[in-house]
Amino acid sequence: MVGDVRILPVAVLISGTGRTLRDLLKAVDEGRVPIDVRLVIASTPNASGLQYAEFMGIPAEVIERKDYDSSDAYSAAIYQRCKEIGAEYIIMAGFAIRLTIIPEFQNRVIGTHPALAPAFCGQGYFGRRVHEAVLEHGVKVTGCTVFFLDQEYNNGPVIIQKWIPVEPDDTVEKLEARVLKLETEALIEALQLLAENRIRVEGRRVRILPARPKQPTPA
């Protein structure tokens, strides 16, 4: 606890380079996000983000889907490890495999999507395919969504959304770069709100409570 802000113990799930993990750890060093990354779990030993986690001194391990008979069993193994290290929240940072959400972790698994949900969401919409679809449809704004995962793709309660205009000369690469930056900032903001205990989930709606007034410094 730092003042009125808790340090959130989290696990980060990756499948690739760990770009989001890098961004989060940089934000931790800069004092911009109050999290304690206790474990990194990768879905494949080929995830290069594992090496970065190890370089940063963070415990990292691989849990592969092929070693389990069902999605439920695979998810249970991940939850078990998260509970063992005391993680209160799980951050899906480019994790390519769907988790079954169990009651104990409802509204505790956080994901991001590089579009404004529910637009350009669902199975098949990931990575550059999202930005390709945005440009193909000719929409005027796009952005990112941070949400609590549920049992459907990109469908859980929305915590934060941020938007940017789609520029006339945008390419997939340009749009992807701008949305990625926005996505990181939105995730950091969501984690800060959780650490400040300012998020309330009411059905599908997430209510953001006002910030508590700062206490005057004693004379």
Which residues have a catalytic role annotated?
113
Cα separation, 18 vs 58, in Å, equals 13
Pull the structure tokens for residue 118.
């529910």
Smallest CA-to-CA distance from 190 within 129, 149, 141, 131 is with 149
- CA 48 vs. chain centroid, Å, equals 18
Contact yes or no for 193/202 (Cβ under 8 A): no
Q: Where are the beta strands (DSSP E) in the chain?
A: 8-14, 35-42, 60-62, 89-92, 109-113, 141-148, 158-165, 199-202, 205-208
